[in-house]
Amino acid sequence: MALKLKVTLVRSPIDRTQKQKDTVRGLGLRRLNHSVILEDTRAIRGMIRKVQHLVTVAPADHAADGAA
């Protein structure tokens, strides 16, 4: 079973570059404090790294895994 990450948008992408806004949107984040459960892949890790100042990342618990 692949590991999952819980990514939460904690800072607004307003006044950020269009690339950063697109990356936030590509992660599936739409509004502040919105969280998504994503697979832990190299591509997702790279996207998170590009907007690490806007998001928090935590391992997803197994209870949330079934809801996603």
Count of the separate structural domains present in the chain? 1
In a domain, 34, yes or no: yes
In a domain, 67, yes or no: no
The per-residue b/e assignment along 14-45, b for 16 or more CB within 10 angstroms, e otherwise, is eebeeeeeebbeebebeeeeebbebeeeeebe
In a domain, 40, yes or no: yes
CATH number at residue 22: 3.30.1390.20
Which pTM does this prediction carry?
Answer: 0.85
pLDDT the model gives residue 30: 97
In a domain, 68, yes or no: no
Q: What is the mean pLDDT of each run of 10 residues along the chain (68 residues)?
A: 91 98 98 97 98 97 58
9: domain range?
4-61
